[in-house]
Structure 1
Amino acid sequence: MASIRCFLRSGKSAVSVVLRREFSKTSPAAVQVNVRDALNQAMDEELERDERVFLLGEEVAQYDGAYKVSRGLWKKYGDKRIIDTPITEMGFAGIAVGAAFAGLRPICEFMTWNFSMQAIDQVINSAAKTYYMSAGAQPVPIVFRGPNGSSAGVAAQHSQCFAAWYGHCPGLKVISPWSAEDARGLLKAAIRDNNPVVFLENELMYGVPFDLSEEVMHKDFVLPIGKAKVERQGTHITLVSHSRCVGFCLDAAAVLAKEGVECEVSVVL
């Protein structure tokens, strides 16, 4: 087992597991898409599908987003649907919540989820509690999204993971995707959902490519929110994770397989 301990200490990245899609239930791949482009495609298709959908946040329009997730959307849909905001998370999150109350379907981007602390009253008390306390009578179809967790050179203030924070708040659905398939299918599902959704992306995964099938690339492909997905079959032990850590679990499973231990790896969606 010493080899396993050495592997875990090495901090090996998730990239090495990207092509091991034979363990997924996804059909044979047709095209390779990275997570950034999968998110971009999902928003583009939902903006085209439903005129009530719009995106707002800091630098999402003319600059194409701080991480280029909204690349090209402003040129295609214009100022009324791709909206640059001032640097005031409380303000534009409140605008998004009000728009959702009025029947629109906003996508509210936080440049980083660490900045959502400035808007947590809007996320929790305005969005989540309204839908929850009304027992669904007042839909709040809003997606709060952006990069979550640690990254390179951004200091502790920009490195927090908010999965547990928001996961403990009644009225919110919390999503933390791993692959391009997850990002694409779950973001589309989140935009179509009447529940406020917290969508936790990972900056270090944006550029990682995954093979996507024709089925996944279909405009109406969605993944059910709240269902686990098996990324690797195994019979001895189950590793359960989310976001970038799924890659570490897959790498660990590959090491264990060499020692005769077959791990199932499940993704919490």
Structure 2
Amino acid sequence: MLRGRGAASAGLGLVIPVALLLLWHVLSTNGTFTPAQLPEPTAVLSAGVELIQRGELWIHVAISTQRVFWGFVIGAGLGLALGAWIGLSRWAALLAGPTVGALRAVPSLAWVPLLLLWIGIGEDSKVTLVAIGAFFPVYTTVSAALQHVDRQWVEAARSFGITGLRLFATVQLPAVLPSVVSGLRLALAQGWLFLVAAELIGASMGLGFLLTDSQDNGRTDRLLLAILLLAILGKLTDALLGLFERWTRRRWGAIPST
């Protein structure tokens, strides 16, 4: 029964992508758009096959995925640490909260020239920019959720002598973990968004580079291919975090946060 429901849900989720693919085919073949503006789906597929045969496509995918992975790990880790500090400490919230909130409003491209000056052209600057994008959703979610943990649970734990890091690990973190995982999913999506800006920093490989290089050379087929790959990779990685989120809800769903 559950398998049938899962298959039905997956099939329903394919309705819009298939409809968009059909619309794309119609608009690219009926004269609405020229091949330079909107190549046919088969042309984009051919561009992908060409890059595979040249041994380039999987390198672009692997390099971009690696940058997002390390940027996400670093940014999410720092966001969890700082968010926990500010969420658990009233003085920390007063001291650092306004500054972090102001930095959150800085657009991704505004960091590019500063990172070039500080770190230079290389992998470190690209991973750092992705980490900046992943940091803020986790920080915001953690700091806000910890401020609404049920005080009765905290006081009950303290009455049993549970304090400090043990209190955080056994009561407070489990109470907010489902919300935190939702923040991680937002952070991962933000990491993919920041990737394109990151690969503007002197990159010679990666999907962001493929996108901008295709634009410069008038290869709309490769440009659309890069967009599709970014969408697919973003969805696949989000689905992995979605599995983890469902596990946390089953494991710690009984601990209230308010």
Q: Report the TM-score when normalising by structure 1.
A: 0.23
Which protein shows a greater Rg?
2
| Structure with greater helix percent | 2
| Structure with greater strand percent | 1
Q: Report the TM-score when normalising by structure 2.
A: 0.24
